[in-house]
Amino acid sequence: MNAGATVVPGSIHAYLQVMLTPDELERYARHIVLHEVGGPGQAALGRARVLVIGAGGLGAPVLLYLAAAGVGTLAVIDDDVVSLSNLQRQVIHATPDVGMPKVESAAALIRRLNPHVAVEQHRARLTAENALDLIGRYDIVADGSDNFTTRYLVSDACYFARKPLVTAALGPFDGTLTTIRAHERGTDGKPNPTYRCLFPEPPPPGTVPACAEAGILGALAGVIGSMAALEVIREIVGFGEGLVGRLVMLDARAMRFETLRYGWDPENPLSGEQPTIRDLAAAAQTAAPGAAEATGEAEADDRLPSTKGAARAPRG
């Protein structure tokens, strides 16, 4: 049954019992009483398969809140191990986990939090060779990666695999969040914008200081990561207005939110009128030439590149 389906009031209790076990009915009770979620929405969450890119500052709250929400299958890809400096913001890991692969540490906490969630671990680096196969196994992708090369790769792969993407990024005191459904068209008939419509190109290598050099406010990762989890839940259940074509920006110094609206760029190389990127091999060459490939935060940075033309779009 779809999330928007109608259930006869007199039969709703029996209907929920068929869908959910008594333990699940109690666990998700605060979701089920929400009209916008209800039993059908909770069932949709239970059927969903979500891939989270990175088990770091952003990936940690995304994984925790999606697990708590009852997402049926959570997958996480990360090739890094837990270090002591991670624990200031990567709340899915703990002191005894130092030295452990992040995917193992994350999976262990998810299982303790919600045994109904199936966890799939991918201790690997996302590459042009494995991205399509991996992303194709899941319904939606949440990108919490910490480097520009991976961010462009994920967005391009989601376009080719026709999968929705929720992508977030952090600076020392700022964060951003948007949703990409570039494989679909909007109500106006135009293609939805790609990540490359918003950020045409990454900054030159070496121009943006690494996280280890610039620092990052730990709680900020929790705020933006939780918002990313909320957007994934909204995409799965189908309530409200999504972030396609809208970039939410948080300035933590002023505690101010702004929304930047952006649209499809007919000159973008992925889905434009004359596309030049037709596979991930070509995409990888244009994403971030010479940029750091590692997922470790000492080598890479969480921040987004300049919006260039998108910065001229109206703010909502």
Q: Which residues are catalytic?
A: 211
| Angstrom distance (rounded) from CA 52 to CA 59 | 7
Taking alpha carbons only, the member of 37, 36, 42, 34 closest to residue 18 is 42
Upper half-sphere CA count for residue 139 (Cβ side, 13 Å): 16
Please give the angle made by the CA atoms of 126, 55 and 230, to the nearest 5 degrees.
105
| Angstrom distance (rounded) from CA 133 to CA 261 | 32
| Angstrom distance (rounded) from CA 108 to CA 100 | 11
Q: Residue written as tokens 């986990």?
A: 97
| Angstrom distance (rounded) from CA 158 to CA 140 | 9
For the record, the structure tokens of 14 come out as 């029996």
| Angstrom distance (rounded) from CA 254 to CA 257 | 9
